[in-house]
Amino acid sequence: YEKLVQKIAQLDFDDNSELDQATVDKLQDKFVKNLAIDLNTANAVSVLYDVLKADTNDRTKLYLINDFERVLSLGLLDRADKYLQAKAEKEANRYAGVPEEVVKLVDERAQAKKAKDFAKADALRDQISALGYTVKDTAEGPVIEKA
């Protein structure tokens, strides 16, 4: 459930693309056919994963998820919204009390690492250290600590 919520939370909720009606029809049909077989909800839920994997825009995916939710009532979209709010709050609090200059250097360092410019990343780490902070890389992103 949580993995499904996290995948849904990655969709662009502001996508204003045109609805992909062919994909909607295809996946709605698959969903209904699965439910028609003795209310096979397990297979119907698996269609949610098909929606997320579909080669279509996020607006279409969100439309289908919302449509399926009328039957499944799993609260996926509400839970995805809460997940995004909690993530934003955690991110906002992540660097509380850390000078903006240090946060900017940490962000630049993350971009340098992403671009595989390790010399620049090391130089930025040294600048951060000179300001009295250390940066540690974690799975959730960099963590800044007072040295």
What string of DSSP letters covers 25-43? HHHHHHHHHHHHTTT-HHH
Length of the chain, please?
Answer: 147
Contact in structure between 1 and 75 (CB atoms under 8 Å): no
Q: Please state the pTM of the whole predicted model.
A: 0.68
**What is the pLDDT, as a whole number, of residue 38?**
84
Distance from C-alpha of 94 to C-alpha of 89, rounded to nearest angstrom: 8
Contact in structure between 58 and 38 (CB atoms under 8 Å): no
Inter-CA distances, 45 with 1, 36, 103, 137, 139, Å: 10, 13, 41, 36, 29
**What is the pLDDT, as a whole number, of residue 115?**
94
User: Would you call 116 helix, strand, or coil by DSSP?
Assistant: coil
Distance from C-alpha of 4 to C-alpha of 57, rounded to nearest angstrom: 18
Per-position pLDDT tens, the chain of length 147: 999 999 999 999 999 999 999 999 999 999 999 999 888 889 999 999 999 999 999 999 999 999 999 999 999 999 999 999 998 888 777 788 899 999 999 999 999 999 999 999 999 999 999 999 999 988 778 889 898
